A and B are shown apart, each in its own frame.
Chain A
């Protein structure tokens, strides 16, 4: 009887709709974030959450140009290797302390030594040269330095000196998440949510709001990031008013949601693109550029994208790494993209001395698009007489296997939008694929050896052409993910940024 009473009571309670606090933003995520220590990891979700807590010295404006954020300006030496940064005065950390040059120097030094992207700047050291002055000594001139300092993903966010010094190579523990951002850390409940709470003593940048640069206004009292792994549930949760925002809705639901008045569609401003890496260290493709060219000649990317993405509004079959309007845009080399010509492929393969050896294509099922693209490619390559053997594993296994050169010849992955070509994984010589030809090294030196934009652009143009010639990786095409929001959520951006931020948003 007790149970019955209890359940009757429960049903009655169910009918009393409890008012949902308008002060909390409820963001449905695809899963749980790993450590929120932004310096140490490159997980997208960790960046989306942590950017509300931690800040960088520079921030990107709407045109993707880095603007001073925690600094007021910089002076660069003649040789380009010494950069003096002046910090903003009176910036408060969440623990009430004021930001000093010690904090910045300690954060940058720790990031350069242990950070996920710490090596790309080539920082020799960051030294305190005044109360609000930090001097960076670079090993080599690095033209991309400002973009690198502005890029939050695995980037040099600023923590208090004592916390970074104590943490060193370990990820910072949750109780020490102290930053300068508009939200401070609340709590992390495994499988339930990550909670951030508005930081009432926040010291915003005085500039006018422009992209992530300029002033940041926190309208919500709390931000909740709630793991909702099932995409159907993320969608119906927004429709039912249980979430204000849901990320990564799948392409097959696009037709359903684009005209639904119960949701706003936020197509990503920054496409991700599929990449098929080729093994430059081991196996039949290692020294055989002709065979690589044969493979690429056989591929029809439009077909692959139709299968893996479907909706035409959500993909763009293009071989260029930076879209039109971006300062890095160039079409160099992209005529090799998506030829879909099996006859040419056969001829090139014969020329390359290909004897039908199976080519191992490593792919995971965790990302449907990887698997779909790989299946289409395998078929297209079979038509050109190239024998591809798919090795299908889960993502965690793929990450491990791809580190072993003898395990694979090609593998499928994807890449997010980056602000500078040096941040593309293919540029990294230790990234699986291990592209390290002389021509590449020479162009890389040109790309990073100067801060002059025009010279760097010219170097990148040649680099993109070289990628399409030597084929360390093959770009599959742009894929626009999209998120959805409840109709009354107002965001400061129209298209979703790579890491959607919610200062300036309200409902």
Chain B
């Protein structure tokens, strides 16, 4: 397992470098200039030139890349052009929201997707299965922003049970109770993802249920619930677990719509706003962190196969 991890880490670093070059090149290929965005409508050409010079935007791209990469290796992702604060601080501010939102969303997904998927598989072909599959299709098809706005209208503006938007940190006044700000957004975000996990669990369960050892287990007179939980579900989860990994990474990096609708200070919104502002250091920093996240999650998923299924050889 040791050499395997080493090899994988080496490959991950190569991927990281390639990704950082691509990101850097692409960002600077977009027309538009942060200086114009910062100085506003009435800026004169002199002011624009002065600010470009000050921010080092007049250096050749290769030089800009090497400076950035060198600093990044030392943990310094540079200064945000827009906020004039370190990029690491901007990312840290967004990371808390994004990670907590992803965790709570994952909870809803697991709590709903897997049991309901198992139930649908066990009742295959009946009205229960058809009803649940229909529900899954509906949840997967309705746009997140619509679900989000509907939840806000009903539970915040209407009933007043939850706050409509925003998220003060759990480290501030209010402490853990501030998590209530994340209940509606996590539900909106969980809906389509839970539906996918539900479908996947169901399909995977049905595949495994046809295996010989399941028939053998049943023939031995093992109680049906044990067959389902110990023999079918455990093996069926293999496919579901790899989907989890990517779902989790996607929840952190792609929750842009949910973060916008609920005015959450998360990573997804930060990166989209930064693209509109041409805040290069923030875009580069966030994308770098997201690439790292995917690589780590990928590695964890691969390693967890081995734990779930001893037959899997890691080479």
Residue numbers of A with Cβ under 8 A of B are: 3, 7, 9-11, 13-18, 28, 31-32, 34-35, 41-43, 114, 116-117, 119, 154, 169-171, 173-174, 188-192, 226-230, 232-233, 236-237, 239-242, 262, 366, 393-397, 399-401, 403, 413, 425, 428, 430-431
| A190 in complex: contacting residue of B37, B83, B176, CB < 8 Å | B83
What 1/0 flags go to B158-193 for Cβ under 8 Å of A? 001111111011000010110110010000000000
B268 to chain A, nearest CB (A): 11
Whether A240 touches B164, Cβ cut-off 8 Å, given contacts A42-B40, A233-B263, is yes
What residues of A have a CB within 8 angstroms of the CB of B161 in the complex? 14-15
Judge whether B119 is part of the interface by a CB distance below 8 angstroms: no
The answer to whether A399 touches B33, judged by C-beta atoms less than 8 angstroms apart, is yes
Q: For the complex, what is the distance from the CA of A474 to the CA of B273, rounded to whole Å?
A: 31
Judge whether B43 is part of the interface by a CB distance below 8 angstroms: yes
Whether A229 touches B260, Cβ cut-off 8 Å, given contacts A116-B47, A394-B276, A400-B32, is yes
The 8 closest A-B CB pairs, nearest first, are: A191-B265, A396-B32, A14-B180, A399-B36, A42-B40, A228-B263, A13-B177, A397-B32
What residues of A have a CB within 8 angstroms of the CB of B84 in the complex? 35, 171, 173-174
What are 21 A-B contacts with C-beta separation under 8 Å?
A7-B107, A10-B176, A13-B177, A41-B38, A43-B40, A116-B39, A154-B40, A169-B54, A190-B270, A192-B93, A226-B166, A229-B260, A230-B263, A232-B149, A233-B261, A236-B152, A240-B157, A240-B160, A242-B163, A393-B32, A399-B41
A247 to chain B, nearest CB (A): 13
The answer to whether A13 touches B176, judged by C-beta atoms less than 8 angstroms apart, is yes
| B261 in complex: contacting residue of A10, A230, A241, CB < 8 Å | A230
**Could you tell me which residues of chain B, from 6 to 46, have a CB within 8 Å of some CB in chain A?**
30-34, 36-45
Whether A190 touches B278, Cβ cut-off 8 Å, given contacts A116-B47, A233-B164, is no
Nearest to B277 among chain A residues (CB) is A396
Q: For the complex, what is the distance from the CA of A436 to the CA of B94, rounded to whole Å?
A: 47
| B166 in complex: contacting residue of A17, A31, A242, CB < 8 Å | A242
Nearest to A16 among chain B residues (CB) is B177
The answer to whether B165 touches A233, judged by C-beta atoms less than 8 angstroms apart, is yes
Compute the total of residue contacts between A and B using a CB distance below 8 Å.
178
Q: For the complex, what is the distance from the CA of A239 to the CA of B139, rounded to whole Å?
A: 27
Nearest to B106 among chain A residues (CB) is A3
Whether A14 touches B183, Cβ cut-off 8 Å, given contacts A190-B83, A190-B89, A400-B31, is yes
What 1/0 flags go to B129-164 for Cβ under 8 Å of A? 000000000000000000001001100110011111
Count chain A CB atoms within 10 A of each CB in B54, B164, B265, B276 and give the residue with the most: B164
The answer to whether B42 touches A428, judged by C-beta atoms less than 8 angstroms apart, is yes
Nearest to B94 among chain A residues (CB) is A191
A52 to chain B, nearest CB (A): 20
The answer to whether B42 touches A228, judged by C-beta atoms less than 8 angstroms apart, is no
Q: For the complex, what is the distance from the CA of A188 to the CA of B45, rounded to whole Å?
A: 29
What residues of A have a CB within 8 angstroms of the CB of B262 in the complex? 233
The answer to whether A11 touches B32, judged by C-beta atoms less than 8 angstroms apart, is no
Whether A403 touches B153, Cβ cut-off 8 Å, given contacts A10-B179, A229-B260, A396-B32, is no
Contacts A14-B162, A35-B38, A394-B276 aside, 15 further interface pairs with beta carbons under 8 A come to: A32-B273, A34-B40, A34-B82, A41-B38, A42-B41, A114-B47, A191-B265, A230-B260, A232-B149, A236-B152, A240-B156, A242-B165, A393-B32, A396-B34, A400-B31
What residues of B have a CB within 8 angstroms of the CB of A400 in the complex? 31-33, 36
| A430 in complex: contacting residue of B45, B104, B162, B183, CB < 8 Å | B45
Q: For the complex, what is the distance from the CA of A16 to the CA of B160, rounded to whole Å?
A: 11
The answer to whether B168 touches A192, judged by C-beta atoms less than 8 angstroms apart, is yes
Judge whether B284 is part of the interface by a CB distance below 8 angstroms: no
B298 to chain A, nearest CB (A): 24
Q: For the complex, what is the distance from the CA of A190 to the CA of B82, rounded to whole Å?
A: 10
Q: For the complex, what is the distance from the CA of A233 to the CA of B276, rounded to whole Å?
A: 20
The answer to whether A396 touches B157, judged by C-beta atoms less than 8 angstroms apart, is no
Residue numbers of B with Cβ under 8 A of A are: 30-34, 36-45, 47-48, 50, 54, 80, 82-85, 89-90, 93-94, 104, 107, 149, 152-153, 156-157, 160-166, 168-169, 174, 176-177, 179-180, 183, 260-263, 265-266, 269-270, 273, 276-278
The answer to whether B44 touches A119, judged by C-beta atoms less than 8 angstroms apart, is yes
What residues of B have a CB within 8 angstroms of the CB of A397 in the complex? 30-32
The answer to whether B90 touches A190, judged by C-beta atoms less than 8 angstroms apart, is yes
Nearest to B82 among chain A residues (CB) is A34
What residues of B have a CB within 8 angstroms of the CB of A395 in the complex? 37, 276
What residues of B have a CB within 8 angstroms of the CB of A236 in the complex? 149, 152-153, 156-157, 164-165
Whether A237 touches B94, Cβ cut-off 8 Å, given contacts A242-B156, A400-B36, is no
Q: For the complex, what is the distance from the CA of A71 to the CA of B90, rounded to whole Å?
A: 40
Nearest to A228 among chain B residues (CB) is B263
What residues of B have a CB within 8 angstroms of the CB of A17 in the complex? 160
B152 to chain A, nearest CB (A): 5
Count chain A CB atoms within 10 A of each CB in B32, B34, B277 and give the residue with the most: B32
What residues of A have a CB within 8 angstroms of the CB of B38 in the complex? 34-35, 41
What residues of A have a CB within 8 angstroms of the CB of B85 in the complex? 174, 188, 190
B29 to chain A, nearest CB (A): 12
What residues of B have a CB within 8 angstroms of the CB of A11 in the complex? 183
Nearest to A237 among chain B residues (CB) is B164
The answer to whether A232 touches B261, judged by C-beta atoms less than 8 angstroms apart, is yes
Nearest to B267 among chain A residues (CB) is A191
B135 to chain A, nearest CB (A): 22
What residues of A have a CB within 8 angstroms of the CB of B54 in the complex? 169-170
What residues of B have a CB within 8 angstroms of the CB of A396 in the complex? 32-34, 36-37, 276-278
Q: For the complex, what is the distance from the CA of A41 to the CA of B161, rounded to whole Å?
A: 41
Q: For the complex, what is the distance from the CA of A191 to the CA of B80, rounded to whole Å?
A: 13
What residues of A have a CB within 8 angstroms of the CB of B157 in the complex? 236, 239-240, 262
Q: For the complex, what is the distance from the CA of A241 to the CA of B159, rounded to whole Å?
A: 12
Q: For the complex, what is the distance from the CA of A14 to the CA of B177, rounded to whole Å?
A: 7
Whether A32 touches B149, Cβ cut-off 8 Å, given contacts A15-B161, A191-B270, A226-B166, is no
A334 to chain B, nearest CB (A): 24
A99 to chain B, nearest CB (A): 26
Q: For the complex, what is the distance from the CA of A13 to the CA of B149, rounded to whole Å?
A: 23
Q: For the complex, what is the distance from the CA of A116 to the CA of B54, rounded to whole Å?
A: 16
What residues of A have a CB within 8 angstroms of the CB of B269 in the complex? 191, 229
What residues of A have a CB within 8 angstroms of the CB of B263 in the complex? 28, 226-230, 233, 237
What residues of A have a CB within 8 angstroms of the CB of B260 in the complex? 229-230
Count chain B CB atoms within 10 A of each CB in A34, A116, A394 and give the residue with the most: A34
Q: For the complex, what is the distance from the CA of A32 to the CA of B276, rounded to whole Å?
A: 12
Nearest to B149 among chain A residues (CB) is A232
Q: For the complex, what is the distance from the CA of A366 to the CA of B153, rounded to whole Å?
A: 26
The answer to whether B45 touches A393, judged by C-beta atoms less than 8 angstroms apart, is no
What residues of B have a CB within 8 angstroms of the CB of A28 in the complex? 263
Count chain B CB atoms within 10 A of each CB in A14, A190, A425 and give the residue with the most: A190
Q: For the complex, what is the distance from the CA of A17 to the CA of B183, rounded to whole Å?
A: 14
Q: For the complex, what is the distance from the CA of A409 to the CA of B82, rounded to whole Å?
A: 30
Whether A116 touches B40, Cβ cut-off 8 Å, given contacts A174-B84, A192-B93, is yes
